Structure 1
Amino acid sequence: MTTIADVARHAGVSVATVSHVMNRTRHVEPETAERVHSAIAALRYSPNTLARSLRRGETKTIGLLLPDNSNPFFASVARQIEDAGFLAGYTVILCNSDGSAEKEERYLQVLMAKQIDGLIFAGSSDHARVFANVLPGVPAVLLDREIHSVNVDSVLVDHDHGGYLAGRYLVGLGHEKIGVIGGPRDSSSSPARLRGFARALQEAGLDLPANAVVDSDYHFAGGRTAMERLMAQAPGITALFACNDLMAMGALTVLRGRGLRVPDDMSMIGFDDIPYAVTTWPPLTTIAQPVEKIGTRAVSLLLARVAEPAAHSRREVLTPVLVERESCAPLRQ
């Protein structure tokens, strides 16, 4: 394997001169620099960037731990983080935890062994214990999570406001009997979306009965199962709020199977605005999360934390917006 010493001998210069030419750390006469570049090309020398980074105490890698990259929302977030990291000169290592605290802990140990420069982390319900035990002193940003016991930055979405937008929109269309398919109660997002939704109904003088809410798992199949249950226990509903788009799409297949039309017989609104939301029939009205901002701000905060490890923790809250499409309509009398 060609070494930097081989390049120096071929060019007739010192190893230090080759290093200065490659790293641009000192002025080198143009003729000398040209000999070094010619030697590098002739010997096909490729520096060991990992070793160089380790000597500087960095690896230019970011660990990204998500619950489920098969979910189009998390896939979109991962892509934004990868793109932003790449522009900043970082490689992103992606791990999926499937919402398991045990898998999170094992993956975090693997990432630590790889000497990542920082971590972007969306964890399970037991994330506080896992995070506090495994990652003391490692620059990190949490997505949709906060841990006040450690100095860590967070990028959050105002899920309460998103749920409120969904409720106010359906109420504004004249719907009074509305069903909800929620996500896992031990997540941070679903309870917040439900709180905002219930507040919008309460402001309109409406209740959200317990039998009109069915919890699920943020998956397509879970949306199907939840919709079957919801129609059995709350048959009079005229509109549906699903706490993510995948569950809304699962619910849509149940309605079609029963010969019901959206939005003529049932209005439906989702949450996330995943890319598939525009391909359903009808296209899905939804609450859009600012995916691009989530990814870019997470990387920006992480790199700032790497540069200033002792800085006070920062908390950024992003605002979702309503995207109107064709799956909702005024209540038919």
Structure 2
Amino acid sequence: MITIKDIAARLQVSPSTVGRALADDSRISASMKQRVLEVAGEMGYVANRAARMMRGVSSNLVGLVVPDIRNSFFSTMAHALSKCLEQEGYQLTLSETDDDRQTELRQIRELTSANVAGIIIVPSAKPHAETVRLLGMTPHIQLLRKHAALGEQWFGIDDYQAVYQPTRHLVELGHRRIAYIGSLGELPTGGARVKGFRDALALAGGDGQGMEQLGAPGSREFARDALRGLLAQPQPPTALVTGSVLHTFAVLEELWSSGVDVPGQLSVAGFGDELAFRWWGPGLTTVALPVSELATACGLWFVHRMKQKSANSAPYSSITPPTLIVRGSTRPVGPAAA
């Protein structure tokens, strides 16, 4: 392995001069820095990150902590952040928590011990006190979810409108028995979406009948079981709204396999605008959420903050609105169902 001493011998200068040049030290001239970089590249020198961290030098790594990379929300987000940070000289490293606070704490410990430049986190419902303490010592920002204990820097979507809009659309089509399959309210996103469903259903007045099925945010099996139970009721819903991408996929799979007529038997409004949703059956009515644009904006803002090296940043929140897209999976309620 090529070392700083090897480069110094080649250039006939001291190892300390080479080390300072590689660290972009102001005491070293621009011409010497250029010579050192050229020789280092020719010799195949790779910086010893561990040694840099022992000297207290922050790395160029930025940690992204998400609940479940199988969720297209988070994989799309990770891709956009990776490209954004790469252009600014940072490298993204990914950690998965499965929405478990102990796993989340372990991941945060590993990232902070590696002296990362910063952390972008989709927090669990109840972060551990130690997680809060460690993040308080590290530049960080929350994405999609916001927990008050983790500060006021946050980029997210309008979760309330993401469910309010499709539910209101169904109410305006004349539907009164409307079901909702979504996440438990213990997460701020889940709570806002449930409220959006209830407020939109209230537009139907006393005739509105909401059928809520709330469960684990990433469980497809829960969504499939919930749909089966709803359709087996004596008076099943005439319309359905889903509150997450994974729940939407599970519902569409179950509807397809069970042969339910959409929208003849059941009008369906989904969450997120995956490519597959456009091609499913008559085309899925859903809410589009610009996750990639949101992640890029978050990344650029966070890079600016890290470069400022400000100990106490002012509170900052950015909320991206969703867009309702009406396709063939919803239609006015039939006379019999009404």
Report the TM-score when normalising by structure 1: 0.86
TM-superposed deviation, 1:270 = 1.1
C-alpha change, 1:54 and 1:282, in structure 2 (3 Å) is farther
C-alpha change, 1:33 and 1:105, in structure 2 (3 Å) is closer
The amino acid of 2:160's aligned partner reads D
The C-alpha deviation readout for 1:26-46, integer Å capped at 9, x for no partner, is 2428xx966x67754664434
Alignment of 1:71-86 (within 5 A): 71-86=71-86
User: Partners in 1 of 2:275 and 2:118 — Cα distance?
Assistant: 29
User: Partners in 2 of 1:230 and 1:59 — Cα distance?
Assistant: 52
Residue in structure 2 matched with residue 315 of structure 1 by the alignment: 317
Secondary structure of 1:59's aligned partner: coil
C-alpha change, 1:320 and 1:110, in structure 2 (3 Å) is same
Number of residue pairs matched by the alignment: 329
Residue in structure 2 matched with residue 215 of structure 1 by the alignment: 214
The C-alpha deviation readout for 1:121-140, integer Å capped at 9, x for no partner, is 11221126453244222111
Residue in structure 1 matched with residue 267 of structure 2 by the alignment: 267
User: Partners in 1 of 2:4 and 2:55 — Cα distance?
Assistant: 16
Secondary structure of 1:127's aligned partner: coil
Residues 72 and 275 of structure 1 are in contact (CA less than 8 Å); yes or no, is this contact kept in structure 2?
Answer: no
Residues 177 and 209 of structure 2 are in contact (CA less than 8 Å); yes or no, is this contact kept in structure 1?
Answer: no
Residue in structure 1 matched with residue 162 of structure 2 by the alignment: 162
**Which is further off, 261-270 or 234-243?**
234-243
User: Partners in 1 of 2:69 and 2:40 — Cα distance?
Assistant: 41
C-alpha change, 1:42 and 1:174, in structure 2 (3 Å) is closer
Residues 128 and 147 of structure 1 are in contact (CA less than 8 Å); yes or no, is this contact kept in structure 2?
Answer: no
Gaps of 5+ in 1: none
TM-superposed deviation, 1:330 = 2.4
Residue in structure 2 matched with residue 28 of structure 1 by the alignment: 31
The C-alpha deviation readout for 1:253-303, integer Å capped at 9, x for no partner, is 333344321122211111122343234334322112220132113223322
The C-alpha deviation readout for 1:3-54, integer Å capped at 9, x for no partner, is 333323323455566568765952428xx966x6775466443444664576
**Which is further off, 190-199 or 101-110?**
190-199
Secondary structure of 2:89's aligned partner: coil
The amino acid of 2:274's aligned partner reads I
User: Partners in 1 of 2:320 and 2:125 — Cα distance?
Assistant: 21
The amino acid of 1:316's aligned partner reads S
**Which is further off, 226-235 or 165-174?**
226-235
Report the TM-score when normalising by structure 2: 0.85
TM-superposed deviation, 1:178 = 1.1
Over the matched positions of the two proteins, sequence identity in percent amounts to 27
Which of structure 1's runs of 4+ aligned residues deviate more than 6 A? none
**Which is further off, 322-331 or 273-282?**
273-282
Residue in structure 2 matched with residue 295 of structure 1 by the alignment: 295
TM-superposed deviation, 1:231 = 1.9
C-alpha change, 1:226 and 1:315, in structure 2 (3 Å) is same
Across the aligned residues of Structure 1 and Structure 2, the Cα RMSD in angstroms comes to 2.8
Residue in structure 2 matched with residue 100 of structure 1 by the alignment: 100
